[in-house]
Amino acid sequence: MKKIIISASICLLSVAASAQQTQWFLRDKTDSTAGISVDRTYRELLKNRKPTPVVVAVIDGGIDVNHEDLRRVLWTNTKEVAGNGKDDDKNGYVDDVHGWNFIGGKDGRNVSYETAEVTRLYVQLKPKYEGKSRASLKPAEQKEFDLYAKIKAEVEKNQAQYKAQYQGISQFYAQYKEAVSGLKQALNVTKLDTNTLRQAADTLRDAALKRPASGLLRLLRQQGAADTDVVLGELEKANEQLKARAEYNYNPDFNSRDIVGDNPNDLKQRDYGNADIMGPRADHGTHVAGIIGADRTNNLGVMGISDAVQIMGVRAVPDGDERDKDVANAIRYAVDNGAQIINMSFGKDYSPQREAVEEAERYALSKGVLMVHAAGNDGKDIDTAANYPSPRFIDGKEIPNVITVGASAETNDSELIASFSNYGKSTVDVFAPGKDIYSTVPDSKYESNSGTSMASPVVAGVAAVLKSYFPKLTYADIKRIIMQSATPYQTKVRRPESSDTVAFSALSKTGGVVNLYDAVKMALAMESGTATKGK
Q: Taking the CA atoms of 112, 116, 119 and 125 in sequence, report the sign of the dihedral they define.
A: positive
**Pairing mode, strands 430-433 and 437-441:** unpaired
Q: Which of 22-31, 71-80, 300-309 has the lowest mean pLDDT?
A: 22-31
Alpha carbon 375 to chain centroid distance? Answer: 10
Euclidean distance between CA atoms 207 and 215, whole angstroms: 12
SS3 407: strand
Looking at residue 224, what is its pLDDT? 86
What long-range pairs does 137-140 form, CB within 8 A, spacing at least 24?
none
Q: What is the chain's Cα-based Rg? A: 24
The residues, ordered by sequence, that sit 6+ positions from 329 with a Cβ below 8 Å of its Cβ are 102, 270, 316, 360
Looking at residue 4, what is its pLDDT? 40
DSSP lists the bridge partners of residue 57 as: 312, 342
Beta strands in 157-275 (DSSP E): none
pLDDT band at 22 (very low <50, low <70, confident <90, very high): confident
Shortest CA distance to 66 belongs to which of 102, 106, 108, 98? 98
Q: Where are the alpha helices (DSSP H) in 31-72?
A: 38-40
pLDDT digits (tens, 9 = 90+) for 425-473: 999 999 999 999 999 999 999 999 999 999 999 999 999 999 999 999 9
Asked if 196 and 187 count as a contact pair (C-beta separation under 8 A), the reply is: yes
Beta strands in 49-195 (DSSP E): 54-60, 99-101
Euclidean distance between CA atoms 401 and 479, whole angstroms: 8
Looking at residue 530, what is its pLDDT? 76
DSSP lists the bridge partners of residue 433 as: 408
Looking at residue 17, what is its pLDDT? 38
Query: Within 13 A of 530's CA, how many CA atoms are on the CB side?
Result: 6
Residue 533 has pLDDT above 80, yes or no: no
Shortest CA distance to 244 belongs to which of 321, 316, 314, 315? 321
Return the number of other C-beta atoms located less than 10 Å from residue 229's C-beta.
16
Where is 519: in which H helix or E strand? helix 516-528
Asked if 302 and 440 count as a contact pair (C-beta separation under 8 A), the reply is: yes
Mean pLDDT (whole number) for 399-416: 97
Shortest CA distance to 320 belongs to which of 248, 236, 390, 388? 248
Residue 2 has pLDDT above 50, yes or no: no
Looking at residue 451, what is its pLDDT? 97
Where is 358: in which H helix or E strand? helix 354-366
Mean pLDDT (whole number) for 255-270: 96
The backbone torsions φ and ψ at residue 526, rounded to the nearest 5 degrees and listed phi first, read -65, -40
Looking at residue 99, what is its pLDDT? 98
Return the number of other C-beta atoms located less than 10 Å from residue 224's C-beta.
14
Euclidean distance between CA atoms 376 and 378, whole angstroms: 6
Euclidean distance between CA atoms 369 and 43, whole angstroms: 29
Asked if 523 and 530 count as a contact pair (C-beta separation under 8 A), the reply is: no
The residues, ordered by sequence, that sit 6+ positions from 143 with a Cβ below 8 Å of its Cβ are none
Euclidean distance between CA atoms 285 and 279, whole angstroms: 10
The backbone torsions φ and ψ at residue 371, rounded to the nearest 5 degrees and listed phi first, read -115, 130
Q: Percentage of the chain with pLDDT > 70?
A: 95
DSSP lists the bridge partners of residue 494 as: 501
Return the number of other C-beta atoms located less than 10 Å from residue 503's C-beta.
12
DSSP lists the bridge partners of residue 465 as: none
Residue 534 has pLDDT above 90, yes or no: no
pLDDT band at 531 (very low <50, low <70, confident <90, very high): low
| Mean pLDDT of the residues in the chain | 93
Residue that wins the pLDDT comparison between 235 and 8: 235
pLDDT digits (tens, 9 = 90+) for 361-402: 999 999 999 999 999 999 999 999 999 999 999 999 999 999
C-alpha dist (Å) from residue 147 to 129, 136, 393: 10, 16, 22
SS3 101: strand
